[in-house]
């Protein structure tokens, strides 16, 4: 039985909707459940699974649609009721701290005239419009939404630059302004290191590493991933961010982070950094570190970026390469991990929630001569036939649209990754799983508790076949994050997972283990 | 590049208007940030033609 409920003018945000859908999908007798707004894209998807066939009056983008398929009919009725109730409860909880929610920016500014930042996470097609309105009012903008065109991005950043306003994003997931974590961000100590990053999980990882090394953050600005990567955007926000940190008296060291940048944008950023007169550390992922240029240093990986910045903030001279574990220690652990693997276990499988963390791992493996297949691959021969099936050494960014369409991001909901852990464990060629866990605001409340169970099952399955599944992870987070890094680490370790102090270290250990595994059968 | 307004932001208490995911406003409140969450909905009922007309009026 199929049932559709449409509630006119009942708007809910995507996190609410996905949580309601998830609650309903788990109910007995339910085969298909969608809880969505009536946008064109969603209606097409629903038609694809047999809803709204031949109907003339279709829902509008402001209408809530609950579409359920299952048996018996009572189960479907019950599921509809639960979906509505979940949404209602969530909304009541969200609104309990605030009596009145204005419907327009003008209305909001009447209530909070001293507002200085607008955080926008509305659906992509409406996002640029809202950002433009906020800039017009002279407000700094953090635009979390993705699916904003590059033309809109250039236009927004030009407007912002003219007015001297921050236009962080689109697709900017994280920032720390005046010590306050915004969207997906960690609670870190304040200090003299300022960051501008065109990489969300990279910014989170580096700020957390700095915190662990007892350094502190003045400001951490996000630009959105395309700022340096797309030559049309020309690093506009990165350049403005550097200029702001140059004149900020609290910032003593400037860190710049990006996924592989466009050539001209990278050159412009480097010359701007040289002009700051402050010590700077640059991490362009996937690029070999250059020789130091005056006060501008180049790091080899994310963890080293943090170590160099902390040294510089203390007035010390950085001495790369930085390693928190010696070659000998890595080698010894690798030996033990590889000792009980069976002959068929030949490949690494990486399941990442953070795009930059996945990319760093891929580059570190490639530097060591491994041929990696990935959904992040740009070159021919590296792409997977299907992202849903691993081949050889495979590293996946599970936050990619191909995995998250209609599902929550793996940082919010571990279930996507848990399913894939089971899938990889069932493959007799899997030798090692490498994972990242990102804590902090925005992320799941107990990611390691949930993952530990899946890891335990995966290890047991491989052991029953006579092999040994090695699992290596890193946790991007701090003791002050509400999930607490130490507590989370204990949970992973109790499942037999090796938890490394950083993503870089996890990748290096994984490389060592895979080399040892290969040597055993030579 | 004039960064005066960015320094004003760095020098003052952060005050946020939030449009979209309500959880972002809840998290900022936990960090004692003054935040106002808007009851945002797609403008003009999501009608694209009407939105573009509204935008044209807005620019005048």
ipTM comes to: 0.95
Residue A253, pLDDT score: 98
Matching residue, tokens 């760095």: B10
Q: Do B40 and A164 touch (CB under 8 A)?
A: no
Does this model's pTM top 0.90? yes
**Whose structure tokens read 């480097």?**
A270
Nearest to A363 by CA among A311, A287, A308, A417: A287
pLDDT at B60: 60
pLDDT bracket for residue A94 (50, 70, 90) = low
How far lies B38's CA from each of A21, A108, A421, B44, in Å? 24, 7, 39, 16
By CA distance, what is A178's nearest residue in B? Answer: B10
State the pLDDT confidence band at A199, using cuts at 50, 70 and 90.
very high
Q: Beta-strand (E) ranges in A264-303?
A: 280-284, 296-298
In this prediction, residue A320 carries a pLDDT of 80
Across the interface, do B27 and A119 touch by the CB < 8 Å criterion? no
Rounded to 5°, angle at Cα A387 from A384 and A390: 70
pLDDT value, residue A26: 85
The HSE-up count of residue B31 (CA atoms within 13 Å, CB side) is: 29
Distances (CA, A) of A253 to A138, A177, A295, A368, A426: 28, 16, 10, 31, 47
Q: What is the pLDDT of residue A11?
A: 86
Return the beta strands (E) in A324-456 as ranges: 347-352, 372-374, 393-397, 430-438
Report the distance separating Cα A375 and Cα A379, nearest Å: 11
Residue A98's pLDDT is 67
Inform me whether the pLDDT recorded for A124 exceeds 80. Answer: yes
DSSP state, residue B45:
G
Give whole-number Cα distances, A301 to A205, A353, A363, B42, in Å.
11, 18, 10, 42
Contacts of B22 in chain A (CB under 8 A): 13, 15-16, 91, 94-95
Mean pLDDT, range A371-391, rounded to an integer: 89
Beta carbons of A111 and B42 less than 8 Å apart? no
Q: Does residue B10 come out as left (phi exceeding 0), alpha (psi in the -120 to 50 range) or beta?
A: alpha
User: B7 vs chain A: nearest CA distance in angstroms?
Assistant: 7
Token representation of residue B59? 């620019």
Q: Does B50 touch chain A (CB under 8 A)?
A: no
Q: B38 contacts in A (CB within 8 Å)? A: 101-105, 107-108
Nearest to B5 among A16, A123, A165 (CB): A165
For CA atoms B42, B55, A148, A137, the dihedral sign is negative
Ramachandran quadrant class, A102 (left: phi over 0; alpha: psi -120 to 50; beta: rest): beta
Please indicate whether residue A408 or residue B18 has the higher confidence score (pLDDT): B18
The answer to whether the CB of A166 falls within 8 A of the CB of A144 is no
For residues A228 and A279, give the distance between their C-alpha atoms in angstroms, rounded to a whole number.
21
Mean pLDDT calculated for residue range A103-120: 95
* Average pLDDT of chain B to the nearest whole number: 90
Q: Which of A78-82, A330-334, A358-362, A401-405 has the lowest mean pLDDT?
A: A401-405
3-state secondary structure of A19: helix
Structure tokens at B1: 């590049």
pLDDT of residue A222: 97
Q: What are φ and ψ of residue A113, in 5° steps?
A: -65, -20
Kindly identify which residue of chain B lies nearest to residue A166, measuring between CA atoms: B6
Contact A228, A262 (CB under 8 A): yes
Q: Is A405 on the interface with B (CB under 8 A)?
A: no
Query: Is residue A342 less than 8 Å (CB to CB) from chain B?
Result: no
Window 225-254 of A: residues touching B by CB (8 A cutoff) are 239-240, 243-244, 247-248, 250
pLDDT at A68: 93
Average pLDDT of the segment spanning A85-99: 73
Residue A187 has pLDDT above 90, yes or no: yes
Q: Which of A157, A266, A448, A219 lies closest to B6 in space, CA to CA?
A: A219
Q: How many CB atoms lie within 10 A of CB A231?
A: 13
| Length of chain A counted residue by residue | 522
Mutate to test the interface with A, among B24, B51, B52, B57 (most CBs of A within 10 A): B24
pLDDT of residue A9: 86
Report the percent of chain A where pLDDT is more than 90.
Answer: 78
CB atoms within 10 A of CB B45: 14
Phi and psi, residue A68, nearest 5°: -130, 140
DSSP class of A293: B
- A69 phi and psi angles, rounded to 5 deg: -130, 135
Asked if the C-beta of A58 comes within 8 angstroms of chain B's C-beta atoms, the answer is: no
Tell me the percentage of chain B whose pLDDT exceeds 90. 62
Structure tokens at B55: 């935008």
Selection from A163, A314, A290, A311 nearest residue A237 by Cα: A163
d(CA A216, CA A65): 46
Tens digits of residue pLDDT in A462-491: 999 999 999 999 999 999 999 999 999 999
Distance from CA of A11 to the nearest CA of B (A): 6
Q: Assess whether pLDDT exceeds 80 at residue A183.
A: yes
Residue A96 has pLDDT above 70, yes or no: no
Q: What is the DSSP letter of A392?
A: S
> Where does residue B46 fall: left (phi above 0), alpha (psi -120 to 50 degrees), or beta otherwise?
left
- Separate counts of helices (H) and strands (E) for chain A: 18, 19
Structure tokens at A45: 């998807």
């Amino acid at each position: 039985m199929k049932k559709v409920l449409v509630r006119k003018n009942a708007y809910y945000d995507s996190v609410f909707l996905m949580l309601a859908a998830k609650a309903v999908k788990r109910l007995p007798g339910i085969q298909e459940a969608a809880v969505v707004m009536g946008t064109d894209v969603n209606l097409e998807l629903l038609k694809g699974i047999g809803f709204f066939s031949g109907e003339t009056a279709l829902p509008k983008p402001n209408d809530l649609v609950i579409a359920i398929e299952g048996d018996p009919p009572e189960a479907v009725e019950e599921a509809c009721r639960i979906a509505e109730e979940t949404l209602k409860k969530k909304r009541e909880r969200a609104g309990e701290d605030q009596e009145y929610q204005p419907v327009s920016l003008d209305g909001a500014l009447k209530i909070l005239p001293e507002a200085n930042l607008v955080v926008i996470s509305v659906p992509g097609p409406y996002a640029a419009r809202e950002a433009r309105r906020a800039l017009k009012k002279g407000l700094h903008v953090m635009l979390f939404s993705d699916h904003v065109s590059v033309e809109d991005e250039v236009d927004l950043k030009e407007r912002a630059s003219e007015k001297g306003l921050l236009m962080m994003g689109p697709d900017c997931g994280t920032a720390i302004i005046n010590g306050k974590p915004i969207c997906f961000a960690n609670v870190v100590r304040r200090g003299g290191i300022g960051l501008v990053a065109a990489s969300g999980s990279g910014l989170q990882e580096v700020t957390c590493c700095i915190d662990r090394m007892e350094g502190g953050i003045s400001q951490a600005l996000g630009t959105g991933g395309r700022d340096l990567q797309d030559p049309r955007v020309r690093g506009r926000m990165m350049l403005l961010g550097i200029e702001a940190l140059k004149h900020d008296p609290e910032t003593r060291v400037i860190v710049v982070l990006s996924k592989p940048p466009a050539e001209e944008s990278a050159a412009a950023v480097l010359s701007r950094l040289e002009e700051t007169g402050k010590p700077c550390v640059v991490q362009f992922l996937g690029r070999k570190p250059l020789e130091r240029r005056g006060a501008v240093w180049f790091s080899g990986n994310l963890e080293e970026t943090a170590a160099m910045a902390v040294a510089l903030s203390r007035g010390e001279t950085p001495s790369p390469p930085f390693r928190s574990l010696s070659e000998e220690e890595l080698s010894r652990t690798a030996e033990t991990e590889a000792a009980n693997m069976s002959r068929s276990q030949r490949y690494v499988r990486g399941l990442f929630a953070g795009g930059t963390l996945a990319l760093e791992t891929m580059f570190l493996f490639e530097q060591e001569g491994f041929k990696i297949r990935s959904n992040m691959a740009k070159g021919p021969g590296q792409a997977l036939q299907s992202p849903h099936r691993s081949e050889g050494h495979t590293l996946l960014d599970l936050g990619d649209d191909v995995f998250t369409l209609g599902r929550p991001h793996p940082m919010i909901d571990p279930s996507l990754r848990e399913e894939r852990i089971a899938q990889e464990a069932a493959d007799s060629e899997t030798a090692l799983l490498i994972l990242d866990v990102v804590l902090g605001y925005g992320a799941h409340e107990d990611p390691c508790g949930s993952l530990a169970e899946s890891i335990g099952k995966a290890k047991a399955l491989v052991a029953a076949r006579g092999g040994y599944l090695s699992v290596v992870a890193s946790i991007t987070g701090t003791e002050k994050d509400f999930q607490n890094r130490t507590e989370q680490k204990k949970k992973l370790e109790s499942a037999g997972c090796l938890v490394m102090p950083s993503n870089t270290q996890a990748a290096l250990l994984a490389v060592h283990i895979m080399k040892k595994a290969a040597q055993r059968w030579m | 590049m004039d960064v005066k307004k960015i320094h004003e932001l760095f020098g003052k208490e952060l005050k946020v208007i939030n449009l979209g995911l309500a959880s972002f406003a809840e998290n900022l409140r936990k960090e004692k940030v003054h935040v106002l969450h808007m009851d945002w909905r797609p403008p003009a009922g999501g009608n694209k033609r009407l939105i573009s007309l509204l935008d044209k009026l807005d620019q005048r």
